[in-house]
Structure 1
Amino acid sequence: MNGSHQKSPNLNAYIESFHSIIERECYQRHVFECFEEAYYWIDDFMDFYNNRRYHGSLKYLSPSGYHQLFMEEGPVEERAVSL
């Protein structure tokens, strides 16, 4: 089994959400003239997505920030967000 079940769209929600985000925030903002240019912008976006973009589903931390906090403190509890 490949980790995704047939006829179970709920199991694909996270990747579908990611595809929507990368489409909106990267692909629609750039015109790629060649593979190297596409690689540059997608790599730049992935760095932003993983290290600087805040995710509501990760308690408003970046994925790397959430991972670091998880490794230091264990499971991250729900917390209030101060603006």
Structure 2
Amino acid sequence: MLNLTAASQVYLACGSTDMRKSIDGLAAVVHAILEKDCLSRHEFESYQDAYQIVSDYILFYNQRRIHGSLYDLSPTQFVQAIQQQNVPPLIIKV
């Protein structure tokens, strides 16, 4: 769970997702990434084991994994680059 205060800033970025498929389409994309990169690589001994491994993967994906849609930076590096004005803004076409 994210620890957000009233002063927190949240940046969202994702690759191309066809939102005409609604939230179900986005959920399918998330599930496919989780299955390919995490679930298929582990055999879980217990619910607690699965919970820990999936939680660790989600933190890795959201903080340290390199994302092509973020100028090949990790999300943490991307936020720092935005704050330091080292990257151009992303243009989102709707």
* TM-score w.r.t. length of structure 2: 0.59
Match of 1:58 in 2: 70
Q: Sequence identity, in percent? A: 35
How is 1:71-82 mapped onto 2 (pairs within 5 angstroms)?
Answer: 71-73=83-85, 76-77=87-88
Q: Which has the higher helix share?
A: 1
* Alpha-carbon distance between aligned partners in 1 of 2:52 and 2:20, rounded to the nearest angstrom: 34
Instruction: Choose between structure 1 and 2 for higher RCO, CA contacts under 8 A separated by at least 6 residues.
Output: 2
Unaligned residue ranges in structure 1 (runs of 5+): 1-6, 79-83
Displaced runs of 4 or more, over 4 A: 10-15
Q: In the alignment, which residue of structure 2 is the partner of 1:4?
A: none
Give the match's secondary structure for 1:22: helix
Q: Which residue type is aligned with residue 59 of structure 2?
A: D
Structure 1 residue 15: Cα displacement: 4.8
- Counterpart of 1:66 in structure 2: which amino acid? F
Distance 1:26 1:56, change over 3 A: same
What secondary structure is seen at the aligned counterpart in 2 of 1:45? Answer: helix
**Which amino acid in the other structure matches residue 35 of structure 1?**
Y
| Equivalent residues, number | 71
- Structure 2, gaps ≥5 residues long: 1-18, 90-94
1: distance between equivalents of 2:33 and 2:83? Answer: 26
